């Protein structure tokens, strides 16, 4: 193998740059040429491909977002759309491709690996952490810490005004960010899609707390695919209990910013592992980290299988908010 490519696709996540940097350095150490593909699959289709040298990845380790750019590409979802992408890779003699992204990116990668003879390795980069085959995805820890900082700040004002707050965090259809930021921030209640809840149930918990010693509380809500649902929940709580509350939706704030040390180290580890996997002739896998070790999961499994929340964390949370 002499030439490989790398792209970032789908939602950006802090730590993607650290991963690109690690892959470039690892590739160069193996005397491989590495090409950066701009704007994900959209750029691959259009041939936006350029050689990455050492300088191209200097001073990016601390930057959020992705210096390669990212995009959503509906075209890539069809075989017809993928044909020019494959031709562009072949034209440049690229024999291996690293895809940094989430489950959509890996669906695309699975299709690509079936249609061409190029080695394909995925690296999990998404703040949502909803990828099967890795304990953590790149960007998750930074997003959790961002949400935590917001929860801490909101607690100051919740305490001062003796008020109920709903803090809505990202996570697409999962409660990973909500669970970890909620535990770390000492949230009184946690509403996540994995655990069905009713507003009546929430009201009875809140009623009990506010009749006791509590004068303020924070409810962390996972957005569950539909941002803004916290407004409805807050309204229903107000109608039922007469409790005044405020809603704070963190939204895209959680996607930006400098990656945490944990994300940078993970990104470095997986960037190097991806290059090594390609050199070893592996294809159609995602490199992840499980129990501190690099783990290889078939790309198809990463999006077909469902990653479960950590049961120990769930149990611990129940105990801590009693």
Figure out which of the listed residues 88, 126, 134, 181 binds ligand ADP, where binding follows CB under 6 A: 126
In whole angstroms, give the CA distance from residue 255 to residue 56.
23
Number of residues that bind ligand ADP (CB under 6 A): 17
Restricted to residues 38-77, the positions that interact with ligand ADP (CB under 6 A) are 41, 72-73, 76-77
Stretch that binds ligand ADP, among 7-15, 61-69, 181-189, 258-266 (CB under 6 A): 7-15
> 33-67 b/e with 16+ CB inside 10 Å = b?
bbbbbbbbbbbbbbebbeebeeebbeebbebbbbb
Nearest Cα neighbor of 307 from 112, 197, 143, 173 is: 173
Stretch that binds ligand ADP, among 3-11, 48-56, 58-66, 292-300 (CB under 6 A): 3-11
Instruction: State both tokens at 113.
Output: 């690996």
The nearer residue to ligand ADP, 102 or 171, going by C-beta atoms, is 102
The nearer residue to ligand ADP, 122 or 175, going by C-beta atoms, is 122
Nearest Cα neighbor of 139 from 300, 27, 14, 45 is: 14
Q: Exactly one of 12, 53, 103, 128 is catalytic; which is it? A: 128
When asked if residue 140 is in the footprint of ligand ADP (CB under 6 A), the reply is no
The distance of closest approach from Cβ of residue 126 to ligand ADP in the complex, given in angstroms and rounded to an integer, is 5
The nearer residue to ligand ADP, 98 or 218, going by C-beta atoms, is 98
In whole angstroms, give the CA distance from residue 302 to residue 201.
34
Helix segments in 128-249, DSSP class H: 140-161, 176-184, 199-211, 229-241
Stretch that binds ligand ADP, among 9-17, 135-143, 160-168, 221-229 (CB under 6 A): 9-17
Which residue is associated with the tokens 């000492």? 186
The distance of closest approach from Cβ of residue 219 to ligand ADP in the complex, given in angstroms and rounded to an integer, is 27
Stretch that binds ligand ADP, among 6-14, 145-153, 161-169, 195-203 (CB under 6 A): 6-14
E strand intervals along the chain: 3-8, 33-37, 49-51, 96-101, 119-124, 164-169, 189-191, 217-222, 245-249, 285-290, 293-298
Nearest Cα neighbor of 275 from 303, 247, 294 is: 294
Inter-residue contact 316 to 179 (CB < 8 Å): no
The distance of closest approach from Cβ of residue 270 to ligand ADP in the complex, given in angstroms and rounded to an integer, is 15
Restricted to residues 99-118, the positions that interact with ligand ADP (CB under 6 A) are 101-105, 107-108, 111
The distance of closest approach from Cβ of residue 299 to ligand ADP in the complex, given in angstroms and rounded to an integer, is 11
Instruction: Specify whether 152 is catalytic.
Output: no
Residues lying near ligand ADP in the complex (CB under 6 A) are found at 9-11, 41, 72-73, 76-77, 101-105, 107-108, 111, 126
**Residues designated catalytic:** 128
């Amino acid at each position: 193998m002499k030439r490989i490519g790398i792209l970032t696709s789908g939602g950006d996540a802090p730590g993607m740059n650290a991963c690109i940097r690690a892959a470039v350095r690892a590739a160069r150490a193996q005397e491989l040429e590495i090409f950066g593909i701009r704007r994900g699959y959209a750029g691959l289709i259009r041939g936006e491909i350029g050689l990455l040298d050492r300088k191209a990845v200097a001073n990016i380790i601390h930057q959020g977002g992705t210096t390669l750019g990212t995009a959503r590409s509906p075209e890539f979802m069809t075989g017809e759309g993928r044909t020019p992408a494959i031709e562009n890779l072949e034209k440049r003699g690229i024999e291996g491709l690293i895809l940094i992204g989430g489950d959509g990116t890996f669906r695309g990668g699975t299709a690509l690996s079936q249609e061409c003879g190029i080695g394909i390795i995925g690296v999990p980069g998404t703040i949502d952490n909803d990828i099967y085959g890795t304990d953590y995805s790149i960007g998750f820890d930074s997003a959790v810490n961002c949400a935590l900082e917001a929860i801490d700040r909101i607690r100051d004002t919740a305490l001062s005004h003796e008020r109920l707050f709903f803090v809505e965090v990202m996570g697409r259809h999962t409660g990973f960010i909500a669970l970890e930021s909620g535990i770390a921030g000492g949230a009184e209640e946690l509403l996540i899609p994995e655990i069905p809840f009713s507003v009546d149930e929430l009201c009875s918990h809140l009623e009990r707390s506010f009749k006791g010693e509590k004068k303020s509380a924070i409810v962390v809500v996972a957005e569950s695919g539909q941002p803004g649902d916290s407004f409805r929940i807050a309204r229903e709580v107000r109608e039922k209990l007469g409790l005044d509350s405020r809603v704070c939706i963190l939204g895209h704030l959680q996607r930006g910013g400098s990656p945490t040390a944990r994300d940078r180290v993970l990104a470095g580890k997986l960037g190097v592992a991806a290059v090594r996997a390609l050199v070893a002739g592996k294809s159609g896998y995602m490199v992840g980290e499980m129990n501190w070790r690099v783990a290889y999961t078939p790309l198809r499994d990463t999006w077909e299988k469902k990653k479960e929340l950590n049961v120990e964390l769930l149990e611990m949370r129940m105990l801590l908010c009693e």
